[in-house]
A and B are shown apart, each in its own frame.
Chain A
Amino acid sequence: MDAEAVKALAAGLAIGLGALGPGIGIGILGYGAMQGLARNPEARGPIQTNMILAIALAEAIGIYALIVAIILALIA
């Protein structure tokens, strides 16, 4: 494989594998929030706020992978 092919492969793998964990995490978060909402619909406001906060925390890890992928694909 030449260097360009390895670079493209590395960028794809970086974002692909890096999005795996946050995806699972956000799925679990949404599951928990939906279940909480179904059991206690009055608590909609706090559940929504905390869910968005936690989702953003999980999403940040995917964003790190995205930065690495962008650097690999476009700059390095």
Chain B
Amino acid sequence: MAATGPKKRRGCLGCSFPVLVIVVIVGLAILVIGFMAGPLGKSIIGDIGLPSWLSVPAPEPHLPAPALFHIFGLPITNTILAGWLTVVVLVLVSWLITRRLKVVPGRLQSVFEFVLGWIFDLCKSIAGEVNGRRFFPFVCTIFLFVLFNAWLSLVPGFGSITYGEHELIRGANTDANTPLAIAIASFVFVAFFGLKTFGISWLRQYFNFGPFFHSLGQIFRGKINIMNIFSGAVGIFVGGLELLSMFIRIISFTFRLFGNMTAGEILLLIAAFLVPWVLALPFYGLELLIGLVQALIFSGLTLVFATMAVASHEHESH
């Protein structure tokens, strides 16, 4: 116990002992009632006739997002709505913060200054001073979108508003299409900076036909060198592997984010179904952490691949 004050305060966790005891008793009572009302308790100790509104209906997850309505023939799903909501929230928050910038920041401004400064330092430490400055806007956009998306889906009431028979909004990354879109955007970003730095010769690491045909051409000049032909063929094969690994990278990006978000949502639903009310709370904390880590992973890996694309291949390949 911290006894730094002039008067020794009794208590724990900021409450005095009677309040703490009441809070613990109420929490335990809710836990026990929830346990007995849920299907887990019913199967262990039998149905003791608790009212049915205490229990939560079984979750029915559908992995493809259902289309709510159509605009000009384009299906608008609930995950798209959540993506738009995220964008609106981000724009509103940044407008609120940058409307009156102060030299001595207020609370909200200092939080965002800390977050952006942290990502900026990360970019500079991984990609170097110049490239970090160039990569920062895109990397930070991915980070903020994924983070706000994950955390907005944890706001109570987010998934409970229904439209027709489906939820009106559902976390945008629980549909495989949104992570795929971000992954393709990140792939284009990496390819753009690779091409900008090395020109068309950046593609040579993927389509490495030059040495092979060069050594084939040497045959007609009468110089037969089997080792050159062989190493040229190996170069083509390695380039094909690089190309394949680039597409595998897109798939891996997509399913990492999609899987984490979907699994988190289903985990929360099932926890709330098994023991209503209380069991979902620790998983909420876990989901907060997972949202942050996934946002960091997605933007960090984009940053690392972009750094590898602008680094000289001559140095790393030997």
Interface residues of A (CB under 8 A from B): 52-53, 56-57, 60, 63-64, 66-67, 70-71, 74-75
Q: Is B222 an interface residue (CB 8 A)?
A: no
Kindly provide the distance from the CB of B255 to the nearest chain A CB, expressed in whole angstroms: 6
Closest 7 CB pairs of A and B: A63-B259, A60-B256, A56-B297, A67-B259, A66-B263, A56-B293, A63-B260
Q: From B122, which residue of chain A is reached at the shortest CB distance?
A: A49
Within the assembled complex, what's the spacing in Å between the Cα atoms of A70 and B61? 9
Closest residue of A by beta carbon distance from B176: A67
Closest to B60 in A: A74
A63 engages B297 (CB within 8 Å): no
Contact residues in B for A56 (Cβ distance below 8 Å)? 256, 293-294, 296-297
Complexed CA–CA distance, A57 and B255 (Å): 12
Bound together, the chains give a CA A75 to CA B60 distance in angstroms of 9
A14 to B255, CA, bound (A): 17
Establish whether residues A63 and B263, one from each chain, have CB atoms under 8 Å apart when the complex forms.
yes
Does more than half of chain A's interface fall in helix, strand or loop, or is it mixed?
Answer: helix
Q: Which of B61, B258, B300 contacts A53 (CB 8 A)?
A: B300
In the bound complex, residues from chain B placing their C-beta under 8 Å from that of A71 are 63
Q: Give every chain B residue within 8 A of A66 (Cβ-Cβ).
A: 259, 263
Q: List 9 A-B contacts (CB under 8 A).
A: A52-B293, A52-B296, A57-B297, A60-B259, A64-B259, A67-B258, A67-B259, A70-B262, A70-B263
Residue of B nearest to A63 (CB): B259
Q: Which residue of B lies closest to A67 (CB)?
A: B259
Q: Give every chain A residue within 8 A of B260 (Cβ-Cβ).
A: 60, 63
Secondary structure of the B side of the interface? helix
Contact A74-B255, Cβ < 8 Å, known A56-B294, A66-B263:
no
8 Å CB interface, B53-94 against A: 60-63
Minimum Cβ distance to chain A for residue B124 (Å): 14
Q: Could you tell me the distance between the alpha carbons of A67 and B255 in the complex, rounded to whole angstroms?
A: 9
Find chain A residues with CB under 8 A from B266 CB.
70, 74
Tell me the chain B residues, 282-318 only, with Cβ under 8 Å from chain A: 293-294, 296-297, 300
Among A53, A57, A60, A67, the residue within 8 A (CB) of B262 is A67
Which of A63, A64, A74 gathers the greatest number of chain B CB atoms within 10 Å?
A63
Contact B263 A60 (CB under 8 A): no
Using A56-B296, A57-B297, A67-B263 as known contacts, list a sample of 19 further A-B pairs with CB atoms less than 8 Å apart, ordered by residue number in A. A52-B293, A52-B296, A53-B296, A53-B300, A56-B256, A56-B297, A60-B259, A63-B259, A66-B263, A67-B255, A67-B259, A70-B266, A71-B63, A74-B60, A74-B61, A74-B266, A75-B61, A75-B62, A75-B63
The answer to the question of B245 belonging to the interface, with a C-beta cut-off of 8 Å to chain A, is no
Q: How far is the CB of A20 from chain B (nearest CB, A)?
A: 17
